[in-house]
Chains A and B, each alone.
Chain A
Amino acid sequence: MKANFMKTGKVQELLTNIAANLDSYRNSNFDFIVADPSYFFETNLEIDENLLSKIECDKNNLNEVQNCINMYGAINGLSHYLARDQRLWVYLTHTVLLKYTRERWSIPQDNEKAIKHIKTHFFCVGARGIERDNAASRLWWLASLCSRTKGIDFSEALTCFLYQSDVRANIVERPTTSQNIHVFSAILKKLNDSYKSNKELFEREKFRPFMKELNLAGGIKLLAALPESSITLILDQCIAKALQK
């Protein structure tokens, strides 16, 4: 099927009307969006509806890794440019992924808290709303980041990347560690090794000093200019120092 994008004005309208639509967010649906072409426009982007329908979770199993894989597979022709367009993701969270969004990000009973919560997970608000908060787009972006890694299986990369949100945030929020494929891959391999053993590197008091050491190393040496083998050597030194602390 072709991907539909919500029209900008309609995204704004939904955002303004969250309070009025609270019941639809909690218990009902937004079928009027699909039924009314004034809400959206069709694009040439292909979406695999079958894979999209497999995105699901429950309270006991968030199914994050498989959902990322399915989301990335469902919209694998999406460019990074378009992946930052909130109109795609807002359409999905209000239509085919409404049930998933509601289950993954359970809406609070308190109305005021619910409005804030809906804004965060059904829309793309703020600087990091697209890759961190929107229920649909975050799956695609997490998968996209992990798909670039070299020398580590996609599913394994996702498993260790998704294991600890604090560790993930530390990597993603630093351009040095998230943008350079060699650096990102080398870190993920270290995390994967740790995940398969004692998970020591995921401990806050170990991972933060490791990142600090890496920052210091990257402050005097241009990591982007180094081959992955040299980066791995630097990471080993940083980890050794961090684990000593």
Chain B
Amino acid sequence: MRFDRNKAFPYPVLRPYSDDYKEVEFQATVEFEVGKEKIGVKVGFAVSSDEIAEEIKKGNAEYMAAISCRDTYFQFVLASDSRKMEAEFDVGELRGEVRVNPYVVVKKDISKFASSDINSEFGAGPFSFVVGDILAQDETQVFYIDRDLFRPVTSVFELVKKEGQTEGFWSVSFEEDHVQIEVSPKLKESIDNARNDKSKRVVLVNSIYFAAVMQAIQKLKDEESRGTYEEKKWAQIIIAQAHNKGCDLNAHDAYLIAERLMQQPIKLLETYVLKGGE
């Protein structure tokens, strides 16, 4: 059951954008961690309705999070009377969009539920609930899981040599699945040689790659060019990585998003070049 802010239940449900309850809230936090073999998820719940919390305590209801992945037909239901729960899945179970729907669900029939926070439109109560009814629901949280998403964003950028490229200039092409950073054959050779040295690699990341990532983000910020490129692999990776890191392509500046996606590359510059450390 997906979250729909316009939906009306035949019984009061504590949820965002709804006035079924007054003054009280139900919220969930979800965190994914992707490892080499396993994907971990941690879900935390907070409910400020004393009456709902009491039903959980009495064993009549429980916190629940339904974790679903459309691409792999995976669904896992986490349920507990504890406000914190976690689970682990094989890394092969999830791919693409993963949705987490948090609820408080009735697990034993409740015959006399009353709360002064319930909107008077529902009448004086008390209310009855049966197994499977929902006492509280939070908004669906969406995550993108792909091994490529947990690689550095620069993995979708490719340095290629371009015959005839003027020395001292480089260009970026967005037409392929990987962004192509086009440099002269001579510069390509210099860069390839520099890759063996950590501090030189850090300079590359902070110069040519940072600018290219920023420009790619700008292409996705611009509505017109976004339509042209959003099916490309590089665009999908940037869009999904930005989403997972809480960046808004429409609202945040390109350089700030680039900093987040590249995990503050200036820190590496400071450590390996400016301070000369290892």
Residues of A at under 8 Å CB distance from B? 8, 12, 79-84, 144-145, 148, 175-176, 178-181, 218-226, 230
18 contacts between A and B (CB under 8 A): A79-B93, A80-B93, A81-B72, A84-B72, A148-B73, A179-B70, A179-B73, A179-B75, A219-B7, A220-B11, A221-B130, A222-B64, A222-B134, A223-B1, A224-B64, A225-B103, A225-B131, A226-B131
Interface flag for B90 (CB, 8 Å): yes
Residues of B within 8 A of A175 (CB): 68, 70
- Contact residues, B23-73 vs A (CB, 8 A): 64, 66, 68-73
| With contact pairs A80-B95, A81-B95, A175-B68 given, residues A221 and B133 touching in the complex (Cβ less than 8 Å) | yes
Interface flag for B92 (CB, 8 Å): yes
Q: Flag if B64 contacts A180 (CB, 8 Å).
A: no
Q: Flag if B79 contacts A225 (CB, 8 Å).
A: yes
Which DSSP category, helix, strand, loop or mixed, fits chain A's interface? Answer: helix
- CB contact between B71 and one of A8, A84, A218, A220 (< 8 Å): that residue: A84
Interface flag for B126 (CB, 8 Å): no
Residues of B within 8 A of A226 (CB): 131-132
Interface flag for B9 (CB, 8 Å): yes
Q: Flag if A179 contacts B1 (CB, 8 Å).
A: no
Residues of B within 8 A of A84 (CB): 71-72, 95-96
A214 to B110, CA, bound (A): 24
Residues of A within 8 A of B9 (CB): 220
A219 to B9, CA, bound (A): 8
Residues of B at under 8 Å CB distance from A? 1, 7, 9-11, 64, 66, 68-75, 77, 79, 90-96, 103, 105, 107, 130-134, 147, 177
A84 to B94, CA, bound (A): 10
A170 CB to nearest chain B CB (Å): 15
Q: Flag if A222 contacts B103 (CB, 8 Å).
A: yes
Q: Flag if A178 contacts B93 (CB, 8 Å).
A: no
Residues of B within 8 A of A218 (CB): 1
Residues of A within 8 A of B130 (CB): 221
B196 CB to nearest chain A CB (Å): 25
A27 CB to nearest chain B CB (Å): 31
| With contact pairs A8-B177, A219-B1 given, residues A224 and B92 touching in the complex (Cβ less than 8 Å) | no
Residues of B within 8 A of A82 (CB): 92
| With contact pairs A80-B93, A80-B95 given, residues A225 and B105 touching in the complex (Cβ less than 8 Å) | yes
Q: Flag if B66 contacts A81 (CB, 8 Å).
A: no
Closest to B11 in A: A220
Q: Flag if B93 contacts A222 (CB, 8 Å).
A: no
Residues of A within 8 A of B11 (CB): 220
Closest to A184 in B: B73
Q: Flag if A81 contacts B91 (CB, 8 Å).
A: yes
A203 to B92, CA, bound (A): 37
| With contact pairs A220-B10, A222-B1, A222-B105 given, residues A80 and B64 touching in the complex (Cβ less than 8 Å) | no
A84 to B95, CA, bound (A): 8
Residues of A within 8 A of B1 (CB): 176, 218-219, 222-224
Residues of B within 8 A of A8 (CB): 177
Closest to A181 in B: B75
- CB contact between B132 and one of A144, A179, A223 (< 8 Å): that residue: A223
Residues of A within 8 A of B103 (CB): 222, 225
A148 to B75, CA, bound (A): 12
Closest to A178 in B: B73
A12 to B176, CA, bound (A): 10
A226 to B96, CA, bound (A): 27
Q: Flag if B72 contacts A222 (CB, 8 Å).
A: no
Q: Flag if B93 contacts A81 (CB, 8 Å).
A: yes
| With contact pairs A219-B7, A220-B9 given, residues A230 and B73 touching in the complex (Cβ less than 8 Å) | no
| With contact pairs A79-B93, A80-B93, A179-B73 given, residues A224 and B66 touching in the complex (Cβ less than 8 Å) | yes
| With contact pairs A219-B7, A225-B107 given, residues A80 and B74 touching in the complex (Cβ less than 8 Å) | yes
Q: Which of A8, A12, A144, A179 lies at the interface centre, i.e. has the most chain B CB atoms within 10 A of its CB?
A: A179
Closest to A8 in B: B177
A145 to B72, CA, bound (A): 10
- CB contact between A224 and one of B73, B75, B96 (< 8 Å): that residue: B75
B43 CB to nearest chain A CB (Å): 15
A12 to B93, CA, bound (A): 27
Q: Flag if B72 contacts A80 (CB, 8 Å).
A: yes
Residues of A within 8 A of B94 (CB): 80-81
A180 to B69, CA, bound (A): 11
Q: Flag if A180 contacts B72 (CB, 8 Å).
A: no
